Amino acid sequence: MPEGISASPDAASRSMSSTVALADRVATLRASAVGDDGAVRVTVAGSGLVTAIELDDRVQRLPGSMLAAELMRTIRRAQAAIVDQAAVAVDETVGHDSETGKAVLDSFSQRFPREHESEEQPVTPVMPTPPFPTFQSTPTLPQQLPGNGFESGRDSRAR
């Protein structure tokens, strides 16, 4: 019998029902993660999209860049938890050795790669920010000279 074709209709039916059960479980996956100091809590759906962000009053003392970095770390942790939950769902339904199980686990692993805490480094800009240019306020037209009634640099015709 060719590969992929079941020997009995019962085996095909069991395979189909376990695949449907896996799809139902994956569709309802949710995971949450808490930031390092507990001030940030993020919940993500099985798709990896953020469904909830809870911020403690302590975040008001954080600079914007630190808060953004903490949010991103916490989102990645929640997404990593989705991968773990998907692995449990695969094991309990189709099995991690099945083609369906391998495909689902590969999909989640590629979308939400694990981040190793020891490899985290502070985010540094790719290119340093140049200083803001300073402009000399030097009048270039006679009507812009102070004391002639046109201190704003505009004459009455411009109004």
CA–CA gap between residue 68 and residue 6 (Å, rounded): 51
Q: Please, what is the angle between helix 64-92 and helix 99-111, to 10°? A: 180
Query: Residue 117's pLDDT is what?
Result: 45
Report the sign of the C-alpha dihedral through residues 33, 39, 40, 43, in that order: positive
What's the pLDDT tens digit per position in 57-78?
A: 988 888 888 899 999 999 999 9
User: Which DSSP state fits 32?
Assistant: E
CA–CA gap between residue 65 and residue 43 (Å, rounded): 21
What's the pLDDT tens digit per position in 96-108?
A: 788 888 888 888 8
3-state SS class at 111: helix
Percent of the chain residues topping a pLDDT of 90? 18
Q: How confident is the model at residue 118 (pLDDT cuts 50, 70, 90)?
A: very low
Q: Which residue has the higher pLDDT, 17 or 71?
A: 71
Q: Which residue has the tokens 């769902």?
A: 89
Query: Residue 31's pLDDT is what?
Result: 93
CATH number of 29-117: 3.30.1310.10
Contacts of 134 (CB under 8 A, 6+ apart): none
Percent of the chain residues topping a pLDDT of 70? 67
Query: Residue 1's pLDDT is what?
Result: 43
Domain boundaries, the chain: 29-117
Query: Residue 50's pLDDT is what?
Result: 93
Q: How confident is the model at residue 122 (pLDDT cuts 50, 70, 90)?
A: low
Query: Residue 146's pLDDT is what?
Result: 62
CA 156 vs CA 108, 144, 151: distances in Å: 67, 12, 12
